[in-house]
């Protein structure tokens, strides 16, 4: 029997400064649908605002041929430039009991590293690990990187 709890993670190299990525998630997330429209079709604030720790946002996403909504309560860590999206409701909860994506951006001498992970608990053994959702995160970061480099 496979464990129900787990974590999937990947790292990608990005060209733009880590600070730009952290800032867009930290205070300008409403720009993400314009920059990555193939992945994110909309984002709305339900409680709080765009930049306050603990604010609740709802994301409309597409991953493969799946269209869904993910509602999260955000945690920001300024020191580590990380954004934790604590899932509170949405389509992923058809498969997962808990779902917590984390974006972390680390500055290097040249460029940056994005560490993208999802800690999760599956509802049952028949549910696949959320690799496709990490792929969605990768696509968003690559779109943002291309946007920042072009700007």
For the segment 93-108, the average pLDDT, to the nearest whole number, is 98
For the segment 36-55, the average pLDDT, to the nearest whole number, is 95
3-state secondary structure of 64: coil
Q: What percent of the chain has pLDDT over 70?
A: 99
Structural domains present in the chain: 5-150 (3.30.530.20)
Q: Supply φ then ψ for residue 130, to 5 degrees.
A: -80, 45
Q: Per-residue pLDDT tens for 116-140?
A: 999 999 999 999 999 999 999 999 9
pTM as predicted: 0.95
Sign of the alpha-carbon dihedral angle for 9, 135, 58, 36? positive
Q: Is residue 1 very low, low, confident or very high in pLDDT (cuts 50, 70, 90)?
A: low
3-state secondary structure of 44: strand
């Amino acid at each position: 029997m496979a464990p129900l709890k787990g974590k999937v993670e990947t790292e990608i190299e990005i060209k733009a400064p880590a600070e730009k990525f952290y800032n867009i998630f930290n205070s300008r997330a409403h720009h993400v649908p314009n920059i990555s429209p193939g992945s994110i079709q909309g984002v709305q604030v339900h409680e709080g605002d765009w930049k306050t720790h603990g604010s609740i946002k709802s994301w409309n996403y597409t991953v493969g041929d799946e269209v869904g909504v993910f509602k999260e309560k955000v945690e920001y860590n300024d020191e580590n430039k990380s954004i934790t999206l604590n899932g509170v409701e949405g389509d992923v909860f058809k498969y997962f009991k808990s779902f917590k994506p984390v974006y972390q951006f680390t500055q290097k001498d040249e460029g940056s590293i994005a560490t993208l992970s999802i800690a999760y608990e599956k509802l049952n053994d028949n549910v696949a690990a959320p690799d496709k959702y990490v792929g969605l995160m990768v696509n968003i970061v690559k779109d943002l990187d291309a946007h920042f480099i072009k700007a």
